[in-house]
């Protein structure tokens, strides 16, 4: 079994801007620059043969380059169950279409449908039982986050595994756009 997800990597100059916001929240497990990405579709743990099928399906997606802008911040969860803080992605029809095509690729490879609504974001930190007031204060202090626009020329398939420091990722395949 291999844990997989399709994602867009964040350019280094955009990621460096995000890293500057990774302060002021005690206990946050801040994500390193090389882990910042926009997930298109989380596949989860899949057998090796399904991983090969998924790679084949993702390889035929194609499409045009996409211009994206990160904007705003937020959190997943409520109260003491807040488990992550994120930077948002401005609404983009081309990004939603690419995510939908990745969903179709996963289903064609034999994976179950993802029933969650697609919420593009960049996870900045994971949290464990944080003080909700401190998370709210962090969100208020950083809610005007806005990146310059950046062009996405492709997306990637990553594998992931847990380490003592959190999730680690390895690029398994790359798929160009354009």
Query: pLDDT by residue (tens digit) across 75-88?
Result: 999 998 999 999 99
Query: pLDDT by residue (tens digit) across 93-103?
Result: 999 999 999 99
User: How many other CB atoms are found less than 10 A from the CB of residue 49?
Assistant: 10
pLDDT of residue 115: 93
Q: What is the mean pLDDT of the chain?
A: 96
Global pTM reads 0.95
Alpha helices by DSSP H, listed for the chain, are: 12-19, 48-59, 93-108, 132-142
Query: Average of pLDDT values for 116-141?
Result: 96
pLDDT of residue 162: 86
pLDDT band for 164, please (50, 70, 90 cuts): confident
Query: Average of pLDDT values for 109-117?
Result: 95
pLDDT band for 166, please (50, 70, 90 cuts): confident
Tokens of 93: 């029809």
Helix (H) or strand (E) holding 125, with range, is strand 121-126
Contact 83, 130 (CB under 8 A): no
pLDDT band for 154, please (50, 70, 90 cuts): very high
pLDDT of residue 71: 98
Query: Average of pLDDT values for 101-122?
Result: 96
Domain borders along the chain are: 2-176
State the angle between helix axes of 93-108 and 48-59 in degrees (0 to 180), rounded to the nearest 10.
Answer: 140
**Domain 2-176, CATH class in plain words:** alpha beta
**Whether pLDDT at 140 is above 90:** yes
């Amino acid at each position: 079994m291999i844990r997989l997800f399709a994602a867009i990597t964040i350019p280094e100059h955009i990621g460096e801007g995000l890293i500057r916001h990774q302060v002021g929240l005690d206990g946050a497990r801040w994500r390193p620059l090389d882990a910042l990405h926009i997930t298109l579709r989380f596949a989860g743990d899949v057998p090796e043969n399904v991983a090969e099928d998924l790679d084949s399906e993702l390889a035929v997606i194609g499409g045009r380059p996409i211009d994206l802008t990160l904007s705003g911040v937020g959190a997943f969860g409520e109260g003491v169950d807040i488990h992550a803080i994120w930077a948002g992605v401005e609404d983009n029809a081309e990004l939603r279409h690419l995510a939908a095509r990745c969903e179709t690729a996963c289903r064609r490879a034999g994976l179950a449908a993802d029933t969650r609504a697609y919420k593009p974001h960049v996870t900045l930190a994971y949290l464990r039982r944080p003080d909700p007031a401190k998370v709210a204060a962090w969100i208020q202090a950083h809610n005007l986050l806005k990146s310059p626009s950046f062009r996405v020329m492709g997306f990637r398939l990553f594998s992931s595994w847990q380490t003592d420091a959190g999730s680690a990722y390895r690029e398994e395949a790359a798929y160009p756009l354009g």
